Copies of this chain bind each other. A is one copy, B any other.
Amino acid sequence: MRYGVFGTGTVGLTISNRLAELGHEVMIGTRESLKSGDRLKSKNEAVKVGTFADAAAFGEVLSNATNGAGSVEALKRAGEANLNSKVLLDISNPLDFSKGMPPMLFAMNTDSLGEEIQRTFPNLKVVKSLNTVTAAIMVNPVDVADGDQHVFVSGNDSGAKETVTGILKGFGWIHILELGDITTARGPEMYRPIWLRMWGALGTGMSNIKIMK
C-alpha cells in the first residue's frame, strides 16, 4: 500500500518511519522547502519527501499528522483533487498553545477538529484515531503493558474504519474500540486535558488507558 503522511513533526516522522518499516511505500508531505528540511533529518531513507500535494497524490491512504491549528490549511494545500475520496487517518488534536502550557482546545463540546476536516472535505473519508497516545505508543503499543491498552476509532465510513483498524493492527494494537461516527471524535479530542494531567502526575507519557469491565 502507498501512504501519504502530512506533517513532519514527531508524529508524522514516527508514523512514516513505522509504515516504511512494515514494508509500505511512504511519502511524507511538508509545507517547508525541501532544501531547508532540517526537521526531516531523522527520517527513514525509505520515506520519500514531497509537498503536501505530492504526498496526497502519492498516497492511496492518507494520514494527517500536522499541528491541529494548521491541519485544515495543510489539507487545503494538499488539494481537494488529490485528497479525493481517500481514507484519511486523522491523528491531530485541536491544541491551542496561545495561552501557554498546558494547551487549551480550540474545538470542543459542539464540534471537533475531526468533524471540521470532514465538513471541509466532504468526499474525504476521515477516521480519527491514535490522537489519545504519544507518538511512540501509536506505532508500537506493545511497548506499554505488552499492548494491553485501548485505542479509539471514530468515522462515518465503515470501509474507511476497517482500513484504519487494519493499520492499527499492523502497528500492534490489540484493543481497538470503535466509538461511532465522526462526531464521536469529540470524546477522544476532549480526552487531551486529562491525558496531560495524567502525564504530569505520572511523570511519563509512556502510559495509556485500558477499559476495564
Contacts of A213 in B (CB 8 A): 144-145, 202, 204, 206-207
* Given the contacts A109-B108, A213-B145, A187 and B198 also touching, CB distance less than 8 Å: yes
A178: which of B149, B201, B211 is its contact (CB, 8 Å)? B201
Q: Is there an interface contact between A180 and B200, defined as CB atoms closer than 8 Å?
A: yes
Number of interface residues of A (CB under 8 A): 41
A212 CB within 8 Å of chain B: yes
A210 CB within 8 Å of chain B: yes
**In whole Å, how far is A210's beta carbon from the nearest beta carbon of chain B?**
5
Contacts of A145 in B (CB 8 A): 212-213
* Given the contacts A105-B109, A109-B105, A145-B213, A179 and B198 also touching, CB distance less than 8 Å: yes
* Given the contacts A198-B179, A200-B180, A212 and B148 also touching, CB distance less than 8 Å: yes
5 shortest A-B CB distances, which residue pairs? A187-B194, A145-B212, A187-B197, A209-B209, A179-B197
